[in-house]
């Protein structure tokens, strides 16, 4: 099966309706992420307030999962970690040990029979918890999110929220269900919880820059880790331990990392793009250790008003790195980055705002402070999943564009039926992407690979 093909049998929705819905949603979402109160009485998953302890479960005990548990347990509220799940026992134990060392046995109350490993442990780990932290690689997020909502849990989940279009459609459906049940959902697109982004983008939405007509977003950095293949590893274990390099698990780095900056573009524009066009490839990262992903993507995202946002992401060492966002409006321009900085100028170069939030709170902590404040007050305040799904979809649409070299339209991308997930999840099962006889993996070739 060619994983790079998108089905041609795409049901075309009424585009105008869909655009209007997208516009309406993102306005709502911007309000929600500002923390507007939606309801004070959750329908499901209500936490019994007072002196009760909030029980949390960690699903995916790697570096971010351990960090998210650390941040949850560092809030001022009365929390206890009661269950953990990871595909690998060694990862779970390492995380447990470091959390136990930091917080002690009273807060890290995870007996042996509440430590779950393998692919199915997530379900049992959720059972005893009020709040679940979903921090596996993103390929599993749609299924884990659906189970968490089914079990009426309040949720923190990491970005991105899927790696393919069927996964996005699943998350969108589950997001609706979470709203119906009034379950708080915070997603780790932490710029939405960072003061410089919140304050300066509010000014953009108030019209200080006029209409935004162009922008540039970047995640140009040196790349990530490699875990060399070990003797006796099955192909499934190899790919799971090197999840970054396989699209069913990671989505490529345009999805895994650059979603942050692409999401800022959507936030600033208050809408999602209608098409993507661009290129990418594997210049330097070409060997057997690097799976199927590209080391660079350059994409133009086009919005319905003609605005073009240029996006670059690459994983090279050497060269100039940058991770930030700039936008130009009819009255002025803005720069933002994750080091708590922001600047607004008029077109004559006069600086109108020069924001340097040296003492601003860590947004990774703010996510949890605000989520658990809402939960302890029995408030329904956060519905981040729909925007996260649509920003993740934007990044996936960028991947489709760079893999093919074609112009990719939003509706075609969203309705693709190509499912990257393996048919069966087990250590002896085969992923859909398999190595060539020389140990390298097949990958897309722009201009040759057809995605539509
Ligand atoms: N918001 C941010 O700035 C930020 C930063 C880093 C990572 N992340 C996101 O956090 C997620 C995890 O990244 P990480 O850096 O912690 O990776 P990691 O490899 O350190 O951790 C992932 C963990 O999930 C486990 N896992 C994999 N499949 C599983 C399954 N089916 N069930 C249970 N456990 C499973 C792995 O064994 C591993 O321990 C990713 O989605 C990543 O994009 C977000």
Ligand 1: centre distance to CA 160 (Å): 10
Pocket mutation for ligand 1, best pick of 57, 61, 62 (most atoms within 8 Å of C-beta): 62
The residue whose CB lies within 8 Å of the most ligand 1 atoms, and thus the one to mutate among 64, 138, 368, is 64
| Secondary structure (DSSP) of 325-378 | EEEEESSEEEEEETTTEEEEEETTS-EEEEEE-TTPPPHHHHHHHHHHHHHHTT
- Strands 212-221, 275-281: pairing is unpaired
Burial class (CB in 10 A: 0-12, 13-18, 19+), 228: exposed
pLDDT tens-digit profile, the chain (452 residues): 334 333 322 222 333 333 333 333 333 333 344 445 666 545 455 554 445 899 999 999 999 999 999 999 999 999 999 999 999 999 999 999 999 999 999 999 999 999 999 999 999 999 999 999 999 999 999 999 999 999 999 999 999 999 999 999 999 999 999 999 999 999 999 999 999 999 999 999 999 999 999 999 999 999 999 999 999 999 999 999 999 999 999 999 999 999 999 999 999 999 999 999 999 999 999 999 999 999 999 999 999 999 999 999 999 998 999 999 999 999 999 999 999 999 999 999 999 999 999 999 999 999 999 999 999 999 999 999 999 999 999 999 999 999 999 999 999 999 999 999 999 999 999 999 999 999 999 999 999 987 76
Q: Looking at ligand 1, which residue's alpha carbon is closest to its atom 2?
A: 188
Residue 114 has which token pair? Answer: 């509440």
Pocket of ligand 1 (CB under 6 A): 59-65, 85-88, 91, 119, 122, 135-138, 140, 158-159, 188, 190, 240, 256
Residue for token pair 């070409």: 286
Residue 259's SS3 state is helix
pLDDT for position 333:
98
- pLDDT at residue 49, rounded to an integer: 47
Closest C-alpha to ligand 1, atom 29: 87
* Residue closest to 343 by CA, chosen among 371, 360, 324: 324
Rounded to the nearest 10 degrees, the angle between the axes of helix 141-150 and helix 165-181 is: 20
Report d(CA 92, CA 88) in Å as an integer.
7
CA separation (Å) from 400 to 100, 311, 391, 403, 447?
43, 14, 14, 5, 12
Query: Can you give the pTM of this predicted structure?
Result: 0.92
Q: Could you tell me which of 196, 320, 321, 191 has the C-alpha nearest to residue 265?
A: 191
Query: pLDDT at position 451, please?
Result: 73
Helix axes 259-269, 385-404, angle to 10 degrees: 110
In order of 419, 426, 433, the CA distances from 423 in angstroms are 9, 10, 12
Q: Which of 133, 137, 155 to mutate to test the pocket of ligand 1 (most atoms within 8 A of CB)?
A: 137
Indicate the top mutation candidate among 87, 136, 227 to test ligand 1's pocket, ranked by most ligand atoms within 8 A of CB: 136
What the block records as the tokens of 399 is: 């991947």
Residue with tokens 């925007």: 387
Q: What is the largest CA-CA distance in the chain?
A: 65
Burial readout 102-137 (b: 16 or more C-beta within 10 A, e: otherwise): ebeeebbbbeeebbbbebebbbebbeebbbbbbbbb
Q: What share of the chain is helix, strand, coil (3-state, %, to 5)?
A: 35, 20, 45
DSSP symbols for 98-126: HHHHHH-TTTB---GGGEEESSSHHHHHH
d(C-alpha 362, C-alpha 338), whole Å: 10
- Our CA dihedral for 346, 349, 353, 355, rounded to 10 degrees, sits at 140
* Omega cis (within 30) before 203: no
The pLDDT of residue 281 is 97
Kindly give the distance from the C-alpha atom of residue 142 to the centroid of ligand 1, in angstroms, as a whole number: 14
Tell me how far the alpha carbon of residue 48 lies from the centroid of ligand 1, in angstroms.
Answer: 30
Name the residue at shortest CA distance from atom 16 of ligand 1: 64
Atom of ligand 1 nearest to the CA of 256: 43
């Amino acid at each position: 099966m060619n994983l790079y093909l998108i089905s041609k049998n795409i049901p075309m929705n009424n585009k105008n309706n869909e655009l209007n819905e997208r516009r309406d949603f993102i306005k709502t979402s911007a309000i929600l992420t500002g923390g507007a109160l939606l309801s004070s009485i959750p329908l499901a998953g209500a936490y019994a307030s007072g002196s009760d302890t909030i029980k949390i479960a960690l699903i995916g005990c790697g570096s971010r999962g351990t960090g998210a548990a650390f941040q949850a347990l560092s809030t001022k509220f009365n929390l206890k970690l009661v269950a953990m799940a990871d595909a690998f026992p060694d990862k779970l134990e390492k995380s447990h040990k470091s959390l136990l060392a930091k917080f002690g046995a009273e807060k890290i109350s995870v007996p042996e029979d509440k430590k779950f490993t393998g692919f199915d442990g997530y379900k049992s780990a959720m059972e005893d918890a009020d709040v679940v932290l979903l921090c596996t690689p993103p390929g599993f997020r749609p299924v884990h999110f659906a189970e968490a909502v089914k079990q009426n849990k309040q949720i923190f989940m990491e970005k991105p929220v899927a790696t393919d279009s069927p996964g996005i459609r699943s998350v969108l459906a589950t997001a609706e269900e979470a709203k119906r049940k009034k379950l708080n959902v915070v997603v780790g697109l932490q710029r939405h919880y960072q003061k410089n982004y919140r304050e300066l983008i509010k000014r953009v939405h108030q019209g200080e820059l006029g209409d935004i007509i162009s922008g540039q977003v970047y995640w140009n950095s040196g790349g990530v880790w490699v875990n060399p293949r070990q003797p006796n590893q099955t192909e499934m274990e190899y790919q799971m331990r090197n999840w970054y390099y396989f699209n069913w698990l990671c989505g490529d780095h345009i999805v895994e990392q650059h979603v942050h900056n692409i999401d800022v573009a959507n936030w600033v524009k208050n809408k999602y793009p209608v098409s993507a066009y661009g290129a990418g490839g594997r210049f330097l990262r070409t060997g057997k250790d690097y799976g199927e992903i590209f080391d660079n993507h350059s994409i133009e995202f086009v919005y319905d008003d003609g605005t073009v946002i240029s996006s670059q992401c690459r994983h090279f060492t050497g060269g100039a790195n940058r991770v930030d966002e700039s936008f130009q409006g009819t009255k002025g321009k803005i720069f933002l980055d994750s080091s708590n900085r922001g600047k607004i100028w008029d077109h004559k170069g006069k600086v109108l705002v020069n924001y340097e939030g040296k003492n601003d709170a860590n947004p990774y902590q703010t996510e949890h402070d605000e989520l658990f404040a809402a939960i302890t007050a029995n408030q329904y305040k956060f519905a981040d999943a729909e925007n996260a799904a649509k920003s993740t979809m934007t990044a996936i649409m960028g991947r489709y564009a760079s893999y093919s070299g074609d112009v990719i339209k939003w509706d075609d991308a969203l309705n693709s039926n190509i499912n990257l997930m393996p048919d069966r999840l087990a250590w002896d099962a085969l992923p859909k992407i398999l190595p060539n006889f020389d140990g390298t993996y097949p990958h897309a070739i722009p201009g040759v690979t057809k995605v539509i």
